[in-house]
Structure formats: C-alpha cells, structure tokens
Amino acid sequence: MGIKDTPEEWQVTATATPFVGNKTSVRTDEVVMPDGSTVKRDYQVHPGSVAVLALDEQGRVLVLKQYRHPVRQKLWEIPAGLLDVPGENPLHAAQRELFEEAHVKAEDWRVLTDIYTTPGGCDEAIRIFLAQGLSEAEGERFAVSEEEADMEFARVPLAELVRGALAGELHNNCLVVGVMALSAALASDGLTALRPADAPWPARPFEA
C-alpha cells in the first residue's frame, strides 16, 4: 500500500504576528489539540522557494558556493531563490534564478521533487526542478551583490555529490535532496518518468 501526505488543518482559536521581516515573518497560533487542549505554536511564515538541479551532458551538476551567515559556513548549493510574487509560476522563477545566479539557460525542465524544509517550525515549501540541455544565456550577466558577489561556481559529477552528502561534507538541503532524488530516479524509472515542469503544486498554487 502506498503512503502519501494528506492535507489537514486543526482549529486555530487565535493568531498573532509578533515579528515581520523583509521576506518572512513569525506567527503564533493557538491550536486545538486532539484531546481538546490548546497550545501555542510559533513558526516562520515563508513565501516559498524554487531550486534548480542543472545537469549537463557529461552528467555533472552545476553548483555554487555561497556564505550563509546563520550557520557561519560557505556551502555548496544549487541555484535557488524565493518566489517573489504570490502565485508566481515556479518554473518561471526557477528559470530566472538559473539565469541570475549562473547565467545559464536550459531547454528541458522537469519537477524533481517537492519538499518542506522544516515543517515543525516553518511553512517554507521548495520545488526542486531538474534542468537539462544547458547553454550559456545571452546578454550581460545579472548584476550580483552582497553574499552573491563572492560566489564560486563548479560542475561536479553527480556521484561525487552523492558521496559528499553521505560523508557529511555537503549540507545544503536542496543540494542533498536534489542529488539523492536524481540518483534514485536514474536507478528506477528514469528521468522521463519525472513529473512535467508545470505539474500542480498544492503547497504553492500558481497560474500557468
């Protein structure tokens, strides 16, 4: 018997927003438990994100290294970014991020997997795309600033990234989940069995 996550919403008797930031906020809900008691749950409210596992013809994945202040590390990651506009088409956002961060475009797009990053404390949902048929984008490179101005780039064989994740040497969630999902897809039904790029995404509904 297959298993799958199911939508459910417990009763909220009160809610407050004690903090509002530039991109995210913190919400406090009073939630009714199955035994009838009420508890407070604090969580980060997040617009959602997209990430791109860009795979070239030699089986290498496009990765970038970026400083992440909360964990005080420079992490190897795949291109990723926020859904800037509510209801934004995630494919369009992913194409934008691949262009802005790596100055690359792709001909073939598929949904690799969808995840919640930390569902116990944040409602962030991420759609990870697989992009193939890579080539350099036309025009000038996107002007970067802040942490992105210090990024390093590389193309790394998939097997090496899997090894690094299992060895505890790579920690970015989108990178780790993405390479593991791609490895699993290649070992089972193949990439053509992946969902199309415009597959529904209940966590972040969008217009085509």
Residues carrying an active site annotation: 148
Contact in structure between 128 and 51 (CB atoms under 8 Å): yes
Q: Which of 7, 9, 45, 12 is nearest to 31 (CA)?
A: 12
C-alpha neighbours within 13 Å on the C-beta side of residue 104: 26
C-alpha neighbours within 13 Å on the C-beta side of residue 50: 28
The H or E element that residue 40 is part of is strand 38-45
